[in-house]
Amino acid sequence: MSEQELKPIATREEIKILVDSFYDKVKLDSLIGPIFNDTAKVNWDEHLPRLYNFWEDLLLGTNNYNGRPFPPHISLNLKMEHFERWLQLFFITVDENFIGLKAEEAKSRALRIAKNFSVNLGLSKF
């Protein structure tokens, strides 16, 4: 996408573009794609709407996510390199599609949550 087409994240439409483009990359990634497709056998028709709500709630304050993000990650045997790849793909997706404060916030929230998850899984002290 050329630079003129970069948009702010302002509505659920942009949240959907963010989440869909991110998981399009995740599914094809040789390191973390198989965790979703083979280990967890994710039902994408169920997972994606949950992720729309999660990110819409975080970035736009819609209060429409009431799940618990951490538990599904406990049994996946995740390693630090998985979180690093997840974050790399997420940052690329944000920067390819969006500009502005919410775009920066999306990246900083993702980084903070990834750090929390990795500390809770005993992978990192930070």
52 forms part of the interface with ligand HEM (CB under 6 A): no
Tokens of 63: 């209060």
9 forms part of the interface with ligand HEM (CB under 6 A): no
For residue 75, give every residue at least 6 positions away whose Cβ sits within 8 Å of its Cβ, in sequence order, or none: none
Query: Residue 40 Cβ, how far from ligand HEM at the closest point, in Å?
Result: 3
34 forms part of the interface with ligand HEM (CB under 6 A): no
For residue 15, give every residue at least 6 positions away whose Cβ sits within 8 Å of its Cβ, in sequence order, or none: 9, 52, 55, 56, 59, 60
The residue from 17, 73, 96, 105 that contacts ligand HEM (CB under 6 A) is 73
Give the CA distances from residue 94 to residues 32, 41, 47, 56, in Å, rounded to whole numbers and listed in that order. Answer: 18, 25, 19, 14
The residue from 42, 48, 99, 123 that contacts ligand HEM (CB under 6 A) is 42
Q: Which residues bind ligand HEM (CB under 6 A)?
A: 32, 35-36, 40, 42-43, 46-47, 50-51, 54, 67, 69, 72-73, 76, 78, 82-83, 86, 110, 113-114, 117
